[in-house]
Amino acid sequence: MKRHYKKIFVLSCLIFASALVLFLKAWTMMYQSDEKRLTLNSRSFSGSASAAPVESVLRNWPDPSSFQKILYPKDSIVSVEDDCRDKYRTILIYSFQIDYRKDPGSAVYNTANECVNGKFETKLDLTKLNLQPGDYYLIRADQGTKGSWRDPK
């Protein structure tokens, strides 16, 4: 009976070790690339991740005032039609009081939809988002199959 438990223990350790190796490989692959690239509203930006932390790379990205403005509730339906070069088109909406470069996770709306034949088209009903009346801006970003909208490649 003890041999049976010993075999189960050894097998469990091997499975755990294999899972740990796979996790570490995936982790290092996420941070392997030095060049970070972003496409926002059909403009491309890049920065070296090894040369500076993400925050300093974000500082070089476009000012929020350069994006599509939304005046809610006046603009309650927003149409988005784009050509896209990646697998997904990400749509983010931020309060105009928030600078996405300082707080990328503060979007009041964040979705990624699949591009079909290099095109993306949707209508956003902002009344369903429970937004407070005010000024917002909309960011459109390409996103690949790996990484986030900030690092689609």
79: CB partners within 8 A, 6+ apart = 121, 122, 123, 124
Question: What's the pLDDT tens digit per position in 49-104?
Answer: 443 455 556 677 888 999 999 999 999 999 999 888 888 889 999 999 999 888 88
Helix ranges (DSSP H) in the chain: 2-30, 54-59
Answer whether residue 105 shows pLDDT above 60: yes
Of residues 122, 138, 124, the one with CA closest to residue 67:
138
| Separation of alpha carbons 149 and 136, rounded Å | 19
- Computed over every residue of the chain, the mean pLDDT equals 74
105 vs 51, more confident: 105
Against a cut of 0.95, is the pTM above it? no
What pLDDT is recorded for position 15?
62
130 vs 37, more confident: 130
